[in-house]
Structure 1
Amino acid sequence: MVKSAKFKLTGREKSELFGEGIVTIILLILLNMSIYVILSQLIATNPGLKNGIFQIKMSLKFGPSDFQIWSWGWLFVVLMAIIDCFIVYWRLMRRYSQMQVRHIIAELHYIAAGHFDHRIPFTLKGQTQRIIASVNALVDSTINSMEEERRIERSKDELITNVSHDIRTPLTSIIGYLGLIENRQYHNEEEMLKYTHTAYIKAVQMKALVDDLFEYTKVRQIDRPLNIVSVDMGAMLEQLGASFELEAQKKGMVIHLDEPTTPLMIEADPELLARVFNNLLTNALKYGSDGKNIFINLTQISETEAEITIANDGAKIPTEALGQVFERFYRVEESRSRKTGGTGLGLAIAQGIIDLHHGSINVTSNDKLTSFVMRLPLKHPKEEK
């Protein structure tokens, strides 16, 4: 926030303005004297004009004593004094405005020299103040754009680093095991099959990472076209719950679905929403496996919005990690992610898809439940073309 202060002239500028006024007054006095002399000579040499002025003078009498308000000399002085005041005022205000512009230009040069946290601090009146406000807003916008560009560049570098790291690890294993086979460094066919199976598992991990990365880059495109249809959200969640039921039983977990008695229709891309719920249910099974339950809750919270919650009663997410779980490649525990084979992109993809639907997603976690709460509009906003 810029602290505004009243515009002040420097001592030198005040002296300059005072000198401007004195010079202007002197020039105007000389000009007035010249005009007076010229008019006096013109009247003296023109009897008709002189007689006309005299007649006007004699007709302008007031009161019982025939008071005359006409006097050629005084009338000229008063008239020229009024005109001179306007000229002096105009000249000084013009010079004052020039000094204001000079200060603004000096402030701009100071900012351009690298002092990007500086803003024009003083306030003026009229259109000049609009210029100052526009300049400050332009500098703020430029700085924000520069910071955003730097952030994007850092983000790209981090993306390349993370992808390189996550691909290099399984790729190293694949090359290592295939190298053993290539060099016939195995004792029997069973050992060779073991090597090929390990290489296959690592290749599957690489494919999962590439698929997730591809999906992540697509959902980050704000102009990605969506296949918007009316979706029965309860029916979709029932199908997803049924598809995960067998895996949940293997882990000793039970999936509970709570939905409205009447169908709740949402305008959305069903394929993308299914990807979101798949990612969240997969996470619940992987990282909530020390719990016993997964809860899916669907409610209509207003005339225009629905809420979907996917929760589990497994181990809580550390408080310091809650603000980072939607960041790409972020893993709460690196060792656990390696064990479960997570890419660290699932929640980032989920958030991207929810954003495309103009909704929101957040997470809460305590000793009882870890809950991912999504809010989606019932009607998909029409995109402006």
Structure 2
Amino acid sequence: MAKRSSKQFGVLAIKSKDKSQTYNRIRLTSKEKSELLIEGLVTIILLILLNLAMYMILVQIIQTSVSLESFTNRFMPSIYDAFYSPRAMIWKKPIFALMAVLDIAILYWRLIRRYKQMQQRHIISELHYISSGHYDHRIPFDLGGDLGKLIRSINALVDSTVEAIEEERRIEQSKDELITNVSHDIRTPLTSIIGYLGLIEERQYSSEEELLKYTHTAYLKSKQMKLLVDDLFEYTKVRQSNTPINLVTFDMQQLIAQVVVDFELDAQKKEVTIDFEPSPPSLLMSGDTEKLVRVFDNLLSNAIKYGTDGTQIIVISEKKENEVIITVKNDGKEIPKKSLDLLFDRFYRVEESRSQQTGGTGLGLAITQSIVDLHHGQIYATSEKGWTSFIIHLPLEQPNHSNN
């Protein structure tokens, strides 16, 4: 975007503690300096006339206490006596000193007021510049007092507004990507279903065995679509920060042990062993058991499906201070470092061909992370020394949360 120079702003750059923002002192333009000079001259002239009038009135009050009519008749002849008579010399100097102090104070007040008005014009000019679409610009003036607070507040407001706009753009982009990915993943099995059902509709099969083969394939593709829709529904549900969770007190070690038992048959088919190492044997904590079961289902399912060439899965659950640390690791093929940080992105697949073969939706780890976030925990992955590990930190006690 276009930037305005310091000369165009009428400012003088100075160093700032914040290296990302250059602050400036306002430098008046020639026209503004002329306005300020005229303001000072006019003020001085008015003060001289006012001082003269006040001085003569004060002289008359001090020298005589006559009636108003006599005071008016003697006003003009008293000018000479007021300035040159010996009697006036006694009190004239203090009066002049007091008037001089008042004049300087008034002159200073009027110039400062006019200078602040000029500062406000510069600030308003900056605001108009930002409002015209230059959202990367900030008011660069370094001022004290209320104007300084106002500038900092405006800059903070612009920052938060820009951040909100960017967040809105990211959300819209994220929605578009979600629709694109879902459409792509649904279109593939749907095309197969339509194709095989079309063959059946046109009776292009030679035997009942071939007919059953077509219907079976269509059935499997339908299940794949249902899995994707279910995962998508679960993902959108747990992604909301205000998603209610049903908090109950349960034994984490017992819950994990039950999930491990449920996966033993699948592991045996893959010739993989699953070991569970609880420490301590029993560990009470609070959480939503239904959602946490989904977390361990996803992690164990991924370990079995994607732990290529692996023979062992180990689940470790241990208590440390006020949290439980759960590690699900397998000795399969390591995940490249560049992929570790992307594992929890929706629809991300380390190996595209492998994911299609296993039928994964690419939403499992994204759902897992969202559930862990709902429980105020943390999840991350490591892959080194022959082990790929998913590590979860969960607090033993959950803060108050609205229940369903």
| TM-score, reference length from structure 1 | 0.91
User: Does structure 1 residue 149 correspond to structure 2 residue 185?
Assistant: no
The counterpart of 1:376, out of the listed 387, 394, 397, is 394
Aligned with residue 174 of structure 1, among 193, 215, 223: 193
Answer whether contact 2:244 2:402 (CA < 8 A) is retained. no
The 8 Å contact of residues 232 and 264 in structure 1, kept in 2 or not, is answered as: yes
Against the structure 1 CA distance between its residues 28 and 261, is the aligned structure 2 distance closer, same or farther, given a 3 Å change threshold? closer
Distance 1:358 1:206 in 2: 32
Q: Name the CA shift for 1:34/1:384 in 2 (closer, same or farther; >3 Å).
A: farther
Match of 2:127 among 101, 104, 108: 108
* Structure 1 residues 316-338: Cα deviation after superposition (integer angstroms, max 9, x where no partner): 11111111110111111111111
Partner of 1:345 in structure 2? 363
- Identity of matched residues, %: 58
Which of 226, 244, 261 lines up with 1:242 in the alignment? Answer: 261
Query: Are the equivalent residues in 2 in contact too, given 1:216–1:349 (CA < 8 A)?
Result: yes
Distance 2:325 2:54 in 1: 87
Partner of 1:4: 23
Q: Is the 8 A contact 1:253 1:289 kept in 2?
A: no
Counterpart mapping for 1:1-385 below 5 A: 1-41=20-60, 46-47=65-66, 71-302=90-321, 304-383=322-401
Amino acid at match of 2:246: N
Report how many aligned residue pairs link the two structures: 368
| Conservation of the 8 A alpha-carbon contact between 2:244 and 2:401 | no
Once the two structures are TM-superposed, the CA of residue 71 in structure 1 deviates from its matched residue by 2.9
Aligned partner of residue 382 in structure 1, secondary structure: coil
Give the TM-score normalised by structure 2. Answer: 0.87
Query: In structure 1, what residue type is equivalent to 2:231?
Result: D
Instruction: Return the alpha-carbon distance in structure 1 between the equivalents of residues 399 and 29 of structure 2.
Output: 56
The CA deviation at 1:7 is 3.4
Counterpart-to-counterpart distance in 2, 1:219 and 1:41: 89
Whole-angstrom CA distance in 1 between matches of 2:197 and 2:237:
33
- Supply the distance in 2 between the matched residues of 1:68 and 1:384 (Cα, whole angstroms): 89
Could you tell me which runs of 5 or more consecutive residues in structure 2 were left unpaired when the two chains were aligned: 1-19, 71-85
Equivalent residue number for residue 56 of structure 1: none
Q: Please report the RMSD computed on the Cα atoms of aligned residues, expressed in angstroms.
A: 2.1
- What per-residue deviation string (whole Å, max 9, x for no partner) do you get for residues 116-154 of structure 1? 111111211111111111001000000000000000000
Q: Summarize deviations over 1:65-101 as a string: whole Å, max 9, x none.
A: xx99963433332222121111111101111111111
The one-letter code matched in structure 2 to 1:157 is D
- Partner Cα distance (1:268, 1:252) in 2: 33
CA contact (8 A) 1:213 1:345 kept: yes
- Determine the C-alpha separation between the residues in 1 that align with 2:59 and 2:397: 87
Aligned to 1:57: none
Using the alignment, how far apart are the partners of 1:33 and 1:384 within structure 2? 78
Give, as a single letter, the amino acid of the residue that structure 1 aligns with 2:295: V
CA apart distance, 1:162: 0.7
SS at match of 1:259: strand
Q: What is the rounded CA distance, in whole Å, between the counterparts of 1:263 and 1:5 in structure 2?
A: 63
* Structure 1: distance between partners of 2:234 and 2:63: 99
